Chain A
Amino acid sequence: MLLQRDPLEQDGSKLFPVSELNWFSKNSYNLGVKYVNQWDLRCVARIFTSSLSIIKYYPRDLPSQEMDDLALRGMFCNFMISTAYIALGRAEDRIEVRLENYLNARKYIKGFDEELETRLVSMVDEFKLDLQSKLATLLAFDFEAAICLKSWDDLPVIVRKSGSCKDLQALQVMGDLILRAKTSPTQGKVPPFG
């Protein structure tokens, strides 16, 4: 759950002003969007992570439109961060750093998935389609990361989830990835698919 703050603290004290939370969360997000193609990917990941980290401090009783905006912003942050980490993982030669990048990617993909699941029921169709398509993309990345991390048990789970997204391309990508993993001499034994 992205939002944790109760509207009233136990001692009745005031909440950190929402206007401030908005300034930091929105401005970091906007900078990330503006410079995504120019900045070092690690900085892209950092700036979106900053935006995301502020979201948990918002009160939970905001008007529903604002709550929806927050959820969307959070999901886009998760999407951008995980995509950045996948790209960083692919470009990285040092094995420990590569694994760490892929691990981070998985963490933020999970964040996207969990938030989407919570919000899907109440969401407008126009957003649903776009977010489900983003989820399909992320699941293909998750599959790639799971292979690299040798998290074989996770693979069938990811494939099942992708199936429900009904994105053929994502499934084709996964098929391609598993074939390459089988034939790659450095990957070790790949268990058969259940």
Chain B
Amino acid sequence: MSESAQNEPMTWYLAHKLALRSGDQDMASSSVEAVGASASKDPKFLYACCLDAQKSGDKLCLLKALKKLAEKFEFTKPGDVYFPALLRAMIRLQVALLNDEEQLHIDPATMVNDVCETFEGGELPIRLWYMPRSSC
């Protein structure tokens, strides 16, 4: 892999950090998408995005970063990413956003659908846990 390709996630991670600082949710969203889309199999960039979003206090940005992490690593067997914990974090956020009356621009129907989807995703890590080792 060329150097420029390797630096890609780092560049977008920085863009995400800047977007959070300036409160630009759209930019944060597209940056975290780009980090996720990079070829890197290392979850550290997305983890870092999650931590930054958490520090910023922007629940929607945090949820987006966690979702991206979940999307990218949902099919991995227990390893770098402990999926149940990730799903729990997402669910807690989604429920908090549902109950948060100040989040006026969120469509409650979409958030309800999201919660259901996340719980439905909860079965996958269990099935993967029991998959025969020989399939690795």
Provide the main secondary structure of the chain A interface: helix
Please tell me if A9 contacts chain B, counting CB pairs below 8 Å: yes
Chain A 27-64, CB-CB to B under 8 Å as 1, else 0, gives 11001000100011001001100110110010000000
Contacts of A16 in B (CB 8 A): 125-126, 129-130
| A47 B126 Cβ-Cβ under 8 A | no
- Closest Cβ of chain B to A93, distance in Å, is 20
A50 close to B109 (CB less than 8 A) = no
Contact A54:B123 (CB < 8 A) given known A27-B91, A40-B109: yes
Q: Give the size category of A's interface with B.
A: 20 to 34
Q: A31-B95, A53-B123 are in contact. Are A43 and B113 (CB under 8 A)?
A: yes
Q: Distance (Å) between the CB of B121 and the closest chain A CB?
A: 9
Chain A: CB-nearest residue to B120:
A50
Count of chain A to chain B residue pairs whose CB atoms are closer than 8 Å in the complex: 45
- Please give the number of chain B residues whose Cβ is less than 8 angstroms from any Cβ of chain A in the complex: 19
A46 to B88, CA, bound (A): 17
The answer on a CB contact under 8 Å between A50 and B112 is no
Min CB–CB distance B136 → chain A (angstroms)? 13
Q: A16-B130, A43-B113 are in contact. List 16 more A-B contacts (CB 8 A).
A: A11-B133, A16-B125, A16-B129, A21-B126, A23-B84, A23-B88, A24-B122, A27-B119, A28-B119, A39-B112, A43-B116, A46-B120, A47-B119, A50-B116, A50-B123, A51-B119
